[in-house]
């Protein structure tokens, strides 16, 4: 039941709309099957899976709206679900931020669905985990990893003639390898649309090399350092990059509570706030990281430039806020692409006189929304670079840095790679601020 | 986390057809009246559970447990004068966990019929047998006697779901009005309510019916100086609680005056949201012109509504045995407090540090009669006079530390997630000598008083942390000397707890907690309380967090 074709999904949605007595009605079907395997201490600890399809119906009378859901699709259940949404709508207060439903839209069609990913079996998951474990056992190291795959579809339809459908697959893999004495740790992470691209063994080797190479870490004095941030340090664990992109919100800025707020009122759209080599856009049609083609309102996600040569070109405008400010609304994309060059991390190390290679940043939290100052720590592979070579592993450190300052201190931008549905290059940044040492490995 | 979860958590409006639900839960949107309908019937559940247990045994399981769960949530979000979102959700189904060939297997179903339950049990056994092929050591369970048919209920006075939504909306909007009247530019407020109706049965012979309630009112108030472009926020000083709606009805006896010169009020077992919202607006405005802290060493005086999260991060997580052993290495991390570290006998903290884990304490988020693997709950010491004496364990972990009983801290966020070790309430015992906050401050020459939630970050082995708060006051020569801003303290867990100089007496003791503590892959949330009295730490490193950008 979890995966419906476009025709099957739209047939259910058509029926839902036919039961509606409201002024406006919109319905969406979301389905997802997921499977996972988790291992630690070189053994599988848990494995599981789930599948679910749910229908959400929104009914509107004037500016009043009500929402109801169900996960069975016989006529009687559908009819009751529509009735409940209508009952709730009648009792609801008028929504001061009401926006009429969208009419028919044109959507892109990227290749977000890979049949091989949709067909992943528990055996394949177990085999990948076993391969990862075997590599570590062979090197007297300890693996803890997680593999999760998912196939989902979203279908929408409303009484104004909007009709949308998309299917997609993803597979996510991450592994932390540690030395048996707990003195060394390494990490690798990747995600793909097509599982055929996933090489769990190769990723495990990267993490294992980092774990073995991080034994005997030396402490260095906290302070400002040139850093090479690998993509995982920028986007894993809700990293500096994601948080910057989430903060590009017009309403927060116009209300005066964002780093994008202008003194005296308004926002800083159109201002150059970053190094001129910084260009960030979104494009659902990108073949390496294809994205969602519509958002929760059914608004089409199209190619959009957010930051161009350091200038803020677009920020997120909800339909309500866009209407209020006489602008076009923005659909928030499922991933971002930061333009980069051709250098690999190895190339970037070669051109570094003194610096620090950072594998991963962890427990990142907002410290001050005014400057977007964030804090967190390095983790699972931190190395000192001298004269173009990794000199020795170093102890982990806490940083206090703002992505705004970071993207003004750009030394070099490497070759982008996919992570978390984004395409992110490794970055070489000068004067990155570390404020204290940590004994954590 | 996708943007929609992110904005949901920050209390901002979500898109039109994004399902408004708590993070981590699915659930179907229902009419609020549905939350009061009795669905769970112990007699029916026993029959259904037996169907699963019998099917598991027939398929070759040596142990099985079943959790039939009905998880009810209601959330109300408002901003300024308007309601942003109201959602009532219900999630109903059953999870079956089995041991077969010495390995765990788990399967869940929302087809809660005898046939559906048996099918889930058979699937769980199949999964266990498949995983057994890569298993090295068989799972060893601490012995557990069956309790027969028993029940437990959070001792609430008023079920929050019985209170009409209109009344809750009115209260939140009234709190918003108080904030706006007192100078706030913006205010977001929210009320979260949870009721877990859980039926547990195991092949040990337990049939446990539980009804668990939790509530959390919260808000954030923002003040803006348009000319300078500066903005500051002050968060609510409420706590999530294991209580009913009685927490929302303020009682004078539950209020404790904060330090002289701050105007702060501490709340015990009831909360005055109107009073706190008014004060929050005044303090948010005051923060705009407060003095920026000079970095350096200070003696910190930490309010329970702040210290709770410090305890959570630096003691609660560090003493979870699954982290200590490496089961969370890929995500949440491990712990410095390893079995070897414990043997070395180094002090975790000073002599005044006594920390207990507790699943019994009334009004706490973690209080239940029995955990999610059918173990009767208890209280036990974690740190005694500064020394680490024990960890937090589940049934399959006890033998690893040479013990033969679980601590009863196994939990799953819903019927469809597998249960695993989660933090008990972990609390700092109050001081035994009579000591008020004002008396404590009198003895501080150069210090900072901190209350409320701020930025909390700690490394994956729980050594290095940096914590902020929501309000900060300078202490000079034994007196509060005005508000400070841009404060965060950085410390190492052991140095910090060893610098603990004194803790106020029981009269100052209050709870705070975490409603959405995340752990595991796939991640599950859990709610946990942390009690303490105001406590002093000497010579802690304070940094200034102000930065100039663009």
| Paired sense of beta strands B471-476 and B479-485, if any | antiparallel
Residues counted in chain A: 441
* CB of B520 closer than 8 Å to CB of B328: yes
Residue A122: band (very low, low, confident or very high) from pLDDT cuts 50, 70, 90: confident
Same domain, A197 and A225: no
Q: Any idea what the CATH number is for the domain that residue A42 is in?
A: 3.30.2290.10
Pick the residue of A24, A43, A69 with the most B CBs within 10 A to test the interface with B by mutation.
A69
Same domain, A101 and A236: no
**Which of A246, A371, A377 is opposite residue B547, by nearest beta carbon?**
A371
Chain B residues in contact with A64 by the CB 8 A cut-off are none
Nearest to B515 by CA among B215, B85, B304: B215
**For range A171-192, the mean pLDDT:** 97
> For residue B319, which phi and psi values (nearest 5 degrees)?
-110, 15
Q: Which are the contacts of A331, defined by CB distance < 8 A and separation ≥ 6?
A: A294, A295, A297, A299, A300, A301, A302
- Closest-CA residue in chain B for A188? B330
Helix (H, G, I), strand (E, B) or coil at B168: helix
In terms of DSSP H, where are the helices of A20-166?
Answer: 75-91, 115-118, 122-138
Residue B536: HSE in the Cβ half-sphere, 13 Å Cα cutoff:
25
Question: Are the beta carbons of A261 and B231 separated by less than 8 Å?
Answer: yes
Residues B334-339: contacts with CB within 8 Å, 24+ apart?
A: B334/A178, B334/A182, B334/B460, B334/B461, B335/B461, B335/B462, B336/A439, B336/A440, B336/B461, B336/B462, B336/B463, B336/B493, B336/B494, B337/B388, B337/B391, B337/B462, B338/A182, B339/B401
| The CATH number of domain B3-153+195-214, selected from 3.40.1110, 3.30.2290, 3.40.50, 1.10.287 | 3.30.2290
Question: Are the beta carbons of B486 and A144 separated by less than 8 Å?
Answer: no
Mean pLDDT by 10 residues, chain B (550 residues): 36 34 57 84 96 98 97 93 88 94 91 95 91 86 97 98 94 98 97 97 98 98 94 97 98 97 98 98 98 98 98 98 96 96 97 98 98 98 98 96 96 95 98 98 98 95 97 98 98 98 98 94 95 98 92
**Which of A88, A365, A436 is opposite residue B455, by nearest beta carbon?**
A365
Pick the residue of B12, B13, B16 with the most A CBs within 10 A to test the interface with A by mutation.
B16
Interchain CB contact of B265 with A (< 8 Å) = no
Interchain CB contact of B230 with A (< 8 Å) = yes
Same domain, A146 and A220: no
- The CA distance from A435 to B517, in Å, is 26
Look at residue A269 and tell me if it is in a domain.
no
- The CA distance from A212 to A39, in Å, is 20
Same domain, A173 and A231: no
Same domain, A50 and A199: yes
Interchain CB contact of B371 with A (< 8 Å) = no
Chain A residues in contact with B468 by the CB 8 A cut-off are 367
* CB of B310 closer than 8 Å to CB of B458: no
> When comparing pLDDT for B478 and A32, which is higher?
B478
Indicate the number of domains in chain A: 2
Chain B residues in contact with A84 by the CB 8 A cut-off are 31
**Which of B229, B326, B550 is opposite residue A404, by nearest beta carbon?**
B550
Chain B residues in contact with A126 by the CB 8 A cut-off are 130-131, 133-134
Same domain, A203 and A217: no
Same domain, A23 and A118: yes
pTM reported for the whole predicted model: 0.95
A411 vs chain B: nearest CA distance in angstroms? 18
Same domain, A201 and A237: no
Q: Which are the contacts of A202, defined by CB distance < 8 A and separation ≥ 6?
A: none
Interchain CB contact of B9 with A (< 8 Å) = no
Chain B residues in contact with A182 by the CB 8 A cut-off are 334, 338
Interchain CB contact of B186 with A (< 8 Å) = yes
- Closest-CA residue in chain A for B138? A43
Chain A residues in contact with B108 by the CB 8 A cut-off are 50
**DSSP string spanning A235-294?**
HTTT-HHHHHHHT-BHHHHHTT-STTBPTTSSB-TT-B-S-TT--EEE-TT-SSS---SB
Interchain CB contact of B228 with A (< 8 Å) = yes
Same domain, A70 and A133: yes
**For range A202-226, the mean pLDDT:** 98
Question: Are the beta carbons of B545 and A368 separated by less than 8 Å?
Answer: yes
Q: What's the pLDDT score for residue B6?
A: 35
**Which of B130, B455, B547 is opposite residue A405, by nearest beta carbon?**
B547
Residue with tokens 């509504």: B305
| Paired sense of beta strands B535-544 and B500-503, if any | antiparallel
In degrees, rounded to 5, the angle at the alpha carbon of residue B78 between the alpha carbons of residues B72 and B80 is 170
| Paired sense of beta strands A427-437 and A410-413, if any | antiparallel
**Which of A30, A50, A436 is opposite residue B464, by nearest beta carbon?**
A436
Q: What's the pLDDT score for residue B110?
A: 86
- The CA distance from B425 to B312, in Å, is 9
* CB of A199 closer than 8 Å to CB of A228: no
Chain B residues in contact with A68 by the CB 8 A cut-off are 29-30
Q: Mean pLDDT score of chain A, rounded to an integer?
A: 95
Distance set, CA A414 to CA A126, A289, A403, A417, B484 (Å) = 34, 17, 17, 9, 42
A362 vs chain B: nearest CA distance in angstroms? 7
Question: Are the beta carbons of A296 and B334 separated by less than 8 Å?
Answer: no
Chain B residues in contact with A359 by the CB 8 A cut-off are none
Distance set, CA B353 to CA A226, B387, B464, B494, B502 (Å) = 41, 8, 19, 11, 9
Chain B residues in contact with A264 by the CB 8 A cut-off are 226-227, 229
Query: Which run of H or of E encompasses A14?
Result: helix A6-18
The four Cα atoms B282, B287, B291, B294 give a dihedral, to 10 degrees, of 130
Q: What's the pLDDT score for residue B14?
A: 32
B226 vs chain A: nearest CA distance in angstroms? 5
* CB of B150 closer than 8 Å to CB of B206: yes
Look at residue A153 and tell me if it is in a domain.
yes
**For range A302-310, the mean pLDDT:** 98
Look at residue A416 and tell me if it is in a domain.
yes
Residues counted in chain B: 550
Look at residue A276 and tell me if it is in a domain.
no
Q: Which DSSP state fits B278?
A: H
Interchain CB contact of B336 with A (< 8 Å) = yes
Residue with tokens 């206090």: A400
Q: Which are the contacts of B510, defined by CB distance < 8 A and separation ≥ 6?
A: B239, B256, B266, B267, B268, B304, B305, B531, B532, B533
Helices and strands of chain B, counted as H and E runs: 10, 28
Question: Are the beta carbons of A144 and B133 separated by less than 8 Å?
Answer: no
Nearest to B110 by CA among A51, A273, A160: A51
Look at residue A171 and tell me if it is in a domain.
yes
Residue A385: band (very low, low, confident or very high) from pLDDT cuts 50, 70, 90: very high
Q: Which domain holds residue A113?
A: 6-210
Compute how many other C-beta atoms are within 10 angstroms of the C-beta atom of residue B111.
Answer: 11
**Which of A30, A71, A246 is opposite residue B6, by nearest beta carbon?**
A246
Q: How many A-B residue pairs are in contact by the CB < 8 A criterion?
A: 238
- The CA distance from B98 to B67, in Å, is 12
The last residue of one of the domains, among A193, A210, A227, is A210
Going from N- to C-terminal start, the domains of chain B cover 3-153+195-214, 296-544
Distance set, CA A103 to CA A25, A26, A159, B47 (Å) = 12, 11, 8, 51
**Which of A261, A367, A404 is opposite residue B229, by nearest beta carbon?**
A261
In terms of DSSP H, where are the helices of B346-482?
Answer: 437-442
Same domain, A128 and A10: yes
Question: Are the beta carbons of A182 and B334 separated by less than 8 Å?
Answer: yes
- Closest-CA residue in chain A for B7? A246
Per-residue 3-state assignment (H helix, E strand, C coil) for A147-158: EEEEEEEEEEEE
**Which of B226, B233, B490 is opposite residue A398, by nearest beta carbon?**
B490
Q: What's the pLDDT score for residue B251?
A: 98
Tokens of B161: 């779901």
Compute how many other C-beta atoms are within 10 angstroms of the C-beta atom of residue A417.
Answer: 19
**Which of A54, A58, A144 is opposite residue B329, by nearest beta carbon?**
A144
In degrees, rounded to 5, the angle at the alpha carbon of residue B533 between the alpha carbons of residues B343 and B311 is 40
The last residue of one of the domains, among A210, A229, A258, is A210
pLDDT digits (tens, 9 = 90+) for A68-107: 888 889 999 999 999 989 998 998 889 999 999 999 999 9
Residue A342 burial (C-beta neighbours within 10 Å; 0-12, 13-18, 19+): exposed
- Closest-CA residue in chain B for A134? B134
Residue A45: band (very low, low, confident or very high) from pLDDT cuts 50, 70, 90: confident
Q: Which are the contacts of A261, defined by CB distance < 8 A and separation ≥ 6?
A: A252, A253, A254, A255, A267, A268, B229, B231
- The CA distance from B177 to B531, in Å, is 31
Interchain CB contact of B486 with A (< 8 Å) = yes
Same domain, A135 and A216: no
Same domain, A136 and A189: yes
Chain B residues in contact with A122 by the CB 8 A cut-off are 127, 130
Question: Are the beta carbons of B231 and A69 separated by less than 8 Å?
Answer: no
Pick the residue of A176, A177, A185, A358 with the most B CBs within 10 A to test the interface with B by mutation.
A176
Q: Which DSSP state fits B312?
A: I
């Amino acid at each position: 039941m979890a995966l419906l074709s476009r025709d099957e999904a739209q047939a259910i949605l058509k029926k839902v709309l036919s039961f509606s007595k409201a002024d406006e009605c919109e319905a969406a079907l979301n389905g997802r099957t997921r499977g996972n395997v988790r291992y630690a201490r070189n053994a599988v600890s848990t494995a599981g899976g789930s599948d679910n399809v749910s229908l959400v119906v929104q009914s509107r009378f004037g500016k009043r709206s009500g929402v109801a859901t169900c996960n069975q699709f016989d006529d009687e259940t559908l009819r009751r679900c529509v009735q409940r949404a209508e009952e709730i709508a009648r009792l609801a207060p008028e929504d001061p931020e009401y926006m009429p439903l969208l009419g028919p839209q044109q959507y892109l069609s990227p290749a977000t669905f890979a049949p091989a990913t949709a067909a992943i079996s528990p055996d394949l998951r177990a085999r990948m985990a076993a391969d990862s474990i075997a590599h570590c056992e062979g090197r007297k190291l300890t693996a803890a990893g997680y593999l999760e795959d998912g196939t989902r579809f979203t279908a929408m339809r409303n009484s104004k003639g909007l009709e949308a459908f998309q299917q997609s697959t993803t597979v996510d893999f991450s592994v932390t390898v540690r030395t048996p004495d707990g003195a060394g740790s390494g990490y690798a992470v990747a995600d793909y649309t097509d599982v055929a691209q996933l090489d769990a063994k190769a990723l495990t080797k990267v993490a294992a090399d980092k774990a073995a190479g991080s034994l005997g870490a030396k402490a260095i004095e906290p302070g400002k350092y040139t850093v090479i941030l690998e993509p995982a340090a920028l986007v894993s664990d809700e990293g500096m990059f994601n948080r910057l992109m989430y903060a590009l919100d017009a309403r927060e800025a116009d209300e005066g509570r964002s780093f994008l707020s202008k003194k005296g009122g308004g926002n800083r759209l159109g201002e150059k706030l970053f190094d001129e080599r910084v260009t960030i856009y979104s494009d659902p049609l990108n073949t390496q990281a294809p994205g969602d083609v519509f958002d929760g309102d059914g608004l089409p996600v199209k190619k959009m430039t957010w930051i161009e040569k350091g200038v803020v070109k677009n920020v997120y405008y909800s339909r309500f806020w866009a209407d209020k400010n006489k602008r076009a609304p923005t659909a928030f994309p499922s991933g971002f692409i930061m333009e980069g060059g051709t250098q690999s991390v190895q190339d970037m190390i070669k051109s570094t006189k003194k610096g620090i290679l950072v594998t991963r940043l962890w427990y990142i939290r907002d410290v001050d929304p005014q400057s977007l100052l964030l804090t967190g720590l390095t983790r699972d592979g931190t190395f000192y670079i001298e004269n173009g070579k990794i000199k020795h592993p170093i102890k982990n450190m806490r940083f206090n840095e703002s992505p705004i300052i970071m993207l003004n201190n750009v030394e070099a931008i490497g070759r982008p790679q996919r992570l978390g549905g984004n395409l992110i290059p490794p970055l070489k940044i000068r004067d990155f601020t570390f404020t204290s040492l940590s004994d954590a490995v | 986390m996708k943007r929609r979860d992110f904005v949901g958590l920050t209390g901002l409006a979500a898109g039109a057809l994004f399902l408004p639900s708590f993070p981590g839960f699915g659930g179907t949107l229902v009419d609020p009246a549905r939350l009061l309908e009795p669905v769970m019937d112990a007699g029916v559940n026993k029959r259904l559970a037996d169907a699963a247990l019998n099917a598991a045994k027939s398929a070759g399981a040596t142990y099985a447990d079943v959790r039939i769960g009905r998880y009810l949530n209601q959330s109300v979000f408002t901003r300024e004068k308007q309601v942003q979102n109201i959602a009532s959700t219900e999630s109903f189904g059953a999870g079956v966990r089995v041991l077969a060939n010495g390995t765990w297997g788990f399967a869940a179903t929302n087809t809660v019929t005898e046939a559906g339950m048996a099918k889930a049990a058979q699937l769980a056994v199949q999964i266990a047998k498949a995983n057994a092929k890569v298993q090295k050591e068989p799972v060893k369970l601490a012995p557990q006697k069956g309790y027969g048919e028993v029940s437990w209920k959070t001792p609430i006075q008023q079920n929050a779901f019985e209170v009409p939504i209109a009344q809750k909306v009115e209260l939140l909007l009234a709190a918003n009005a108080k904030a706006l009247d007192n100078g706030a530019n913006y205010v977001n407020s929210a009320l979260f309510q949870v009721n877990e109706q859980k039926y547990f049965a195991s092949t040990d012979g337990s049939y446990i019916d539980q009804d668990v309630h939790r509530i959390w009112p919260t808000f954030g108030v923002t003040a803006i100086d348009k000319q300078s472009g500066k903005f500051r926020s002050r968060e609510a000083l409420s706590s999530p609680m294991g209580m009913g709606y009685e927490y929302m009805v303020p009682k004078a006896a539950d209020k404790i005056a904060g330090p002289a010169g701050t105007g702060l009020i501490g709340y015990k077992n009831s909360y005055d949201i109107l009073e706190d919202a008014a004060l929050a607006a005044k303090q948010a405005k005051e923060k705009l012109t407060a003095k920026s802290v000079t970095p350096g060493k200070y003696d910190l005086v930490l309010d329970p509504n702040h210290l709770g999260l410090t305890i959570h991060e630096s003691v609660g997580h560090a003493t979870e045995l699954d982290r200590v052993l490496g089961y969370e290495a890929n995500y949440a991390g491990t712990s410095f407090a390893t079995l070897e570290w414990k043997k070395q006998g180094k002090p975790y903290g000073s002599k005044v540090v006594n920390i207990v884990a507790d699943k019994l304490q009334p009004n706490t988020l973690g209080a239940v009669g029995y955990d999610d693997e059918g173990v009767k709950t208890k209280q036990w010491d974690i740190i005694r006079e500064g020394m680490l004496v024990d960890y937090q364990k589940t049934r399959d972990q006890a033998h690893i530390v040479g013990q033969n009983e679980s601590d009863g801290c196994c939990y799953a966020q819903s019927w469809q997630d597998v249960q695993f070790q989660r933090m008990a309430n972990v609390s700092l015992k109050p001081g035994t000598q009579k000591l008020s906050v004002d008396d404590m401050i009198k003895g501080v020459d150069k210090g900072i008083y901190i209350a409320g939630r701020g930025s909390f970050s700690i490394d994956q082995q729980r050594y290095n942390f940096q914590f902020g708060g929501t309000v900060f006051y300078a202490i000079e020569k034994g007196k509060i000397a005005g508000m400070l801003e841009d404060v965060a303290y950085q410390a190492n867990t052991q140095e910090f707890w060893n610098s603990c100089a004194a803790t106020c007496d029981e009269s100052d003791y209050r709870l705070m907690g975490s409603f959405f503590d995340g752990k595991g892959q796939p991640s599950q949330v859990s709610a946990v309380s942390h009690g303490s009295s105001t406590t002093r730490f000497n010579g802690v490193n304070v940094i200034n967090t102000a930065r100039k950008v663009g």
